[in-house]
Amino acid sequence: MTTTPLKFAVIGLGHIGKRHAEMVRRQPGCALVAGCDVRPKSALDVQDDFSFYPGVNEMLAAHPEVDVVCICTPNGLHAPQALQALEAGHHVIIEKPMALTRADGEAVLHKALELGKQVFCVMQNRYSPPSIWLKDLVSSGVMGKVHMVQVNCFWNRDDRYYSKIPWKGTMDLDGGTLFTQFSHFIDIVYWLFGDMGEFNARFADFNHGHNTAFEDSGLVTFEFVKGGLGTLQFSTAVAETNFESSLTIIAERGTVKVGGQYMNEVEYCNIQDYEMPELPPSNPANDYGHYKGSAANHGYVFQNVFDTLRGEGTISTNALEGLKVVDIIERMYSAADRGLKVKR
């Protein structure tokens, strides 16, 4: 077995890019080689253990030896920069969302297949203890036929948030509330229950007409292909602080609710002839959903990258799954007029 470390580069050294760099440093058998950002290194508060470049092209040209490139830039740049990295001969890790359109996501998938490269889509919420428990619960059939699933995502995003990060709130680089704030939870629903369709939606902008180009709230109903009804209610117009991200399952043999601010607490479990196991603790998070301490579950993502590329495991969140989440969000948005503004 080779002992040569896997070499990584990071595109975009903001909050998430720094987290990726730290996960590479923590992962045995991995080495951070290079990073790039449009801002000068002096303004980024980053370590000096890698080569820094002001642009993607310069970095990729200077480091053909890199194995994996992490894409940690604004949402609208994910797909084109992933294509650049793939064409330069590298595997890629793409932060959510994989792309802002299904067509762009398909282009990334096709390029990866053409060149024989892996695309790892970051869906770290799948590794949380309640998510793992729910997956086993649903897959085992313990609950019987699923009748209804309700997802509530009620967060606060105010001027503090949008003034710090200028690209957020724009249609071309941010893409919308479902892409930036809530795509992880849509992924969990898809992961647990499969594909969905028959979307009906209503969107509104209550508080963000001055700092975003899209909705801050919405109601979406849908049907699962495997059977059962679903609803998604979401908002970033909650006053002062995040309220909850929750998932409720109404099924043939019982009812379950996982809630908390970040869908990280089992709040209710009543299933016929079933005793709920004790789950490991979830990672704490701050008010904007950025996990502290163990940096959420990103460590599991990088462990999976290492195991997959070393031939010791299989990819857990591939390009097809990343593409599917983009496809679902695109269909949700297509179900209603996103330009609707609520007048007060």
Tens of pLDDT, residue by residue over 88-133, are 999 999 999 999 999 999 999 999 999 999 999 999 999 999 999 9
**Three-state SS at 149:** strand
- Dist. CA 326–CA 178, nearest whole Å: 10
Eight-state DSSP code of residue 236: S
The answer, yes or no, to whether residue 6 has pLDDT greater than 50, is yes
178 and 85 within one domain: no
The answer, yes or no, to whether residue 286 has pLDDT greater than 70, is no
Bond before 129 cis per omega within 30 degrees: no
- Dist. CA 249–CA 257, nearest whole Å: 6
Q: What is the pLDDT of residues 198-217, one digit of tens each?
A: 999 999 999 999 999 999 99
Residue percentage of the chain with pLDDT more than 70: 94
Answer with the one of 78, 93, 121 that is the final residue of a domain.
121
The answer to whether the beta carbons of residues 201 and 218 sit under 8 Å apart is: yes
Answer with the one of 121, 147, 168 that is the final residue of a domain.
121
Q: Is residue 312 one of the residues assigned to a domain?
A: no
Q: Is residue 197 one of the residues assigned to a domain?
A: yes
The answer to whether the beta carbons of residues 128 and 297 sit under 8 Å apart is: yes
The answer, yes or no, to whether residue 289 has pLDDT greater than 50, is no
The answer to whether the beta carbons of residues 333 and 178 sit under 8 Å apart is: yes
In the chain, the DSSP E strands lie at 6-11, 30-36, 51-53, 68-71, 91-94, 119-121, 146-154, 196-204, 217-224, 229-235, 244-251, 254-259, 265-271
The answer, yes or no, to whether residue 296 has pLDDT greater than 50, is yes
Q: What angle do CA 314, 76, 85 make, to 5 degrees?
A: 50
Q: pTM for the complete prediction?
A: 0.93
Mean confidence (pLDDT) of the chain? 93
The answer to whether the beta carbons of residues 27 and 302 sit under 8 Å apart is: yes
Q: What is the pLDDT of residues 225-272, one digit of tens each?
A: 999 999 999 999 999 999 999 999 999 999 999 999 999 999 999 999
- CATH number reported for the structural domain that contains residue 103 in this entry: 3.40.50.720
Cα–chain center distance at 266: 21
The answer to whether the beta carbons of residues 234 and 245 sit under 8 Å apart is: no
**C-alpha distance from residue 213 to each of 50, 165, 339 (Å):** 37, 14, 9
Eight-state DSSP code of residue 280: P
The answer, yes or no, to whether residue 293 has pLDDT greater than 70, is no
pLDDT of residue 342: 46
173 and 132 within one domain: yes
66 and 52 within one domain: yes
The answer to whether the beta carbons of residues 64 and 272 sit under 8 Å apart is: no
Cα–chain center distance at 336: 23
Tally of domains within the chain: 2
Mean pLDDT on 129-142:
96
Parent domain of 67 = 6-121
246 and 138 within one domain: yes
- Dist. CA 87–CA 89, nearest whole Å: 5
Per 3-state DSSP, the chain is made up of helix, strand and coil in percentages (nearest 5) of: 35, 25, 40
146 and 106 within one domain: no
Answer with the one of 99, 121, 143 that is the final residue of a domain.
121
Q: Which residues contact 167 (CB under 8 A, 6 or more apart)?
A: 74, 173, 174
